[in-house]
Amino acid sequence: MAAVRDALETWAEWSGDGEAVASATVVRVAGSAPRPEGSRFLASSSGRMWGSVSGGCVENDVYLHASAILDGADPRLVTYGIADEEAFEVGLACGGTIQVFVERLGGEVPSAALEMARAGTPGSLATVVAGPAVGSAAVLDASGAVVAGSLPAAATADVGADAVRLADTEQAVTLSYGDHEVFVETMAPAPRLVIWGADEVAITLSAMAAQAGFRVTVCDPRPAFTSAERFPAAERVVVGWPGDVAAEVPFDERTYVVSLTHDARVEGPLLPLVLSSPARYVGAMGSRRTHAKRIERLAAEGWGEADTGRIHGPVGLDIGAERPAEVAVSILAEMIASRHRSGTGEALRGREGRIHRQRPGEADV
């Protein structure tokens, strides 16, 4: 949601200054491209610019389309692909193809989307980018219901259902609904990472996870180790035992929990709290022997295989990590794979097929 919110905040600021704003959004990508779907470029009537759709290689042409929109032209879908002698003027040197939807930004839809983003409420933004009713858009809530704007009646129900499905992996894709091409973009609040154990791994993991878009909370019952100074990237640093801080640190569907502590006094009450919640990811540090004993202990307490199978233990991907920073990289990589529900964790070299996640409908570019 951060990228959407940043664009909408910029739109609100410029609109507040009395300027008209055009928005260019990457709505479809085929092959490799420098920016993913949902990347935006804004241009104002005074000449201000914000964002990027390609890292610079097509921005000049996109700006010309945005200027035309500000002069009253209709919304348009523009395709950019590999260029030969004009590669340095308009084209993608990386060998991919992108489609960019350019429109004038205004009205109830961006206002409602910004309100949703500020509130941290999950939902979706859907825009007709090709076909009849091009430019029509709507904001949908977490159930897929339209809360602002409108979409073609024949496509509304299907768009809502797909928006709910795509929200699980936070996707932004263009899908076909008869004669309509609709860009459906998930607006999800940043996921929360709760780290238990304020050790050296936690210091690096909290910093890297924050850069990767997680809101980080660090918990530990030891005041000497659990301070804001040691974890400057963390949104919250909480001193206490699991049972004491459970009300302060809820584990919802967008929560990732990593236990880095080997202290049974912490992990013992922590894991039952997490396993009884809908937390998206549960990781626990320790050797295979430690993890086996962990499972035995939980089984003795009545937890079944379906419950204990949720625990990623030993936590992280096998990259030969030894040092604290390396272990943090291993853990974050596994969390990202869980977040997108994709990837094998294996080396890309020597593998066939695509690098990026499969994007529905990209063959139509």
pLDDT for the residue numbered 355: 56
Look up the pTM and report it.
Answer: 0.77
pLDDT for the residue numbered 120: 87
Q: At what angle do helices 264-275 and 288-300 cross, to 10 degrees?
A: 60
Is the separation of the CB atoms in 32 and 95 below 8 Å? yes
pLDDT < 50 positions in the chain: 84-90, 358-365
pLDDT for the residue numbered 362: 41
pLDDT for the residue numbered 88: 46
pLDDT for the residue numbered 359: 47
CATH 3.40.50.720 in the chain, residue ranges: 192-340
Strand order in the sheet with 281-284: 236-239, 215-220, 192-196, 255-259, 281-284, 311-312
pLDDT for the residue numbered 95: 58
pLDDT for the residue numbered 363: 41
Cα(238)–Cα(228) distance, integer angstroms: 9
Contacts 24+ apart (CB under 8 A), 48-53: 48/14, 48/19, 50/7, 50/10, 51/6, 51/7, 51/10, 53/24, 53/25, 53/26, 53/98, 53/100
Assigned architecture for domain 192-340: 3-Layer(aba) Sandwich (3.40)
Helices (H), strands (E): how many in the chain?
10, 16
pLDDT for the residue numbered 3: 78
